[in-house]
Amino acid sequence: MSFDLDSLIRPNVRVMKPYSSARDEFQGDARVMLDANENSLGSAGPAEFNRYPDPHQHAVKQALAPLKGVKPEQVFLSNGSDEVIDLLVRLVARPGQDSILSTPPTFGMYEVAAALNDVALERVPLDADFQLSEAAIAQIIASKAKIVFLCSPNNPTGNLLRPAAIEQILRGFPGLVVVDEAYADFADQPSWITRLPEFDNLVVLQTFSKAWGLAGIRLGMAFGSPEVMAYLNRIKMPYNVSENTQRLALAALADTGRFEAMRQDLLQGRDTLRVALAALPIVDHIFPSDANFLLTRFVPDAGAVYQHLLNQGIVVRRPSQAACAGTLRLTVGSAAENDALVAALREFSPAG
């Protein structure tokens, strides 16, 4: 396999001239800033946000890169991972011609990004253990798809994909291999970020939405070669990460103690919740989890359990994929929330 990034990039992207914003052309502090048609008088509302944000989020990348063991030019930040998933599709897949590949049951945004961009989605299903079989790996490697999205730990199943399978795909697949690690902070294996030096075609996605506890600020991270990151920078909206988000992300990155404490609490909560669920007669199986949720199969009727929980004011997720029939995806919450969930399940009797 030879990986040729330039020939993978859509021709229109290769030749396009990116928009050059006022903040691209002048960076730094000047005495008088009259270049961007901002309002120099201030902001309506309680906080000052009258200046455009840094379009390349230098400060956030400076703080984040050492934490991840990469250089700032190997980082791309986005308005949630959702944005970078869409950008990756637009970077390489031509509408009406090309395809991308995903491995259901998995995260739904890959399919949405394909549909939105008029790009076909090739589906190579995971096996009964939610892993990639040898046949699946061979099919992926032989595929003409421009990107394969591998979600590990996988949503909604919770498991890590076998590293050897991902490695085979990285070595054999000629397009981009995107490993979505939204849940990596809950996994007991090293991130694929550590393997970036070996694979030019690898892009790793992480997010501030899960372990960092910042779903509301919308900040996604992509890690990859400086060349791929540079292409993403060409096609992104100039100010895709708001000033508010950048400030809050910087503050979070300076508070790794709280991050680590919450992460440990959630891992502990996952263990406690698993033990409590396993004792319930309506629980048939709890799938292995390296994430902050437990995919749980209920008998005889997961739909009735879902409705019962809803009636108690408890919302869980009912995965729609056929391979997840009979299951509910239970997010690990606070200790009180986990207790409330287990208490409601204990009360449930299928007869009504």
User: Would you say 143 or 207 has its CB closer to ligand PLP?
Assistant: 207
Closest approach of ligand PLP to the CB of residue 102, in Å: 11
CB of 303 to ligand PLP, least distance (A): 23
- Three-state SS sequence of the chain: CCCCHHHHCCHHHHHCCCCCCHHHHCCCCCCCCCCCCCCCCCCCCCCCCCCCCCCCCHHHHHHHHHHHCCCHHHEEEECHHHHHHHHHHHHHCCCCCCEEEECCCCCCHHHHHHHHCCCEEEECCCCCCCCCCHHHHHHHHHCCCCEEEEECCCCCCCCCCCHHHHHHHHHHCCCEEEEECCCHHHCCCCCHHHHHHHCCCEEEEEECCCCCCCHHHCCEEEECCHHHHHHHHHHCCCCCCCHHHHHHHHHHHCCHHHHHHHHHHHHHHHHHHHHHHHCCCCEEEECCCCCCEEEEEECCCHHHHHHHHHHCCCCCECCCCHHHCCEEEEECCCHHHHHHHHHHHHHCCCCC
Binding part of the chain for ligand PLP, among 28-36, 171-179, 204-212, 299-307 by CB under 6 A, reads 204-212
Q: Which of residues 223-242 bind ligand PLP (CB under 6 A)?
A: none
Q: Per rule CB under 6 A, is residue 119 in the interface with ligand PLP?
A: no
Given 23, 52, 53, 81, the residue binding ligand PLP (CB under 6 A) = 81
**Rule CB under 6 A: is residue 82 a binding residue for ligand PLP?**
yes
Residue 176 within binding range of ligand PLP, rule CB under 6 A:
no
| Residue 80 interacting with ligand PLP (CB under 6 A) | yes
Residue 72 touches ligand PLP, criterion: CB under 6 A: no
Q: Which of 182, 229, 273, 295 binds ligand PLP (CB under 6 A)?
A: 182
Based on CB atoms, which residue is closest to ligand PLP, 164 or 215? 215
Q: Is 184 in the site for ligand PLP (CB under 6 A)?
A: no
180 near ligand PLP, rule: CB under 6 A: yes
Residues 302-331 that bind ligand PLP (CB under 6 A): none
Measured from the CB of residue 149, what is the shortest distance to ligand PLP in angstroms?
Answer: 9
Site for ligand PLP (CB under 6 A): which residue of 147, 151, 193, 202?
A: 151
**Interacting residues with ligand PLP (CB under 6 A):** 80-82, 107, 151, 155, 180, 182, 207, 209-210, 215, 220
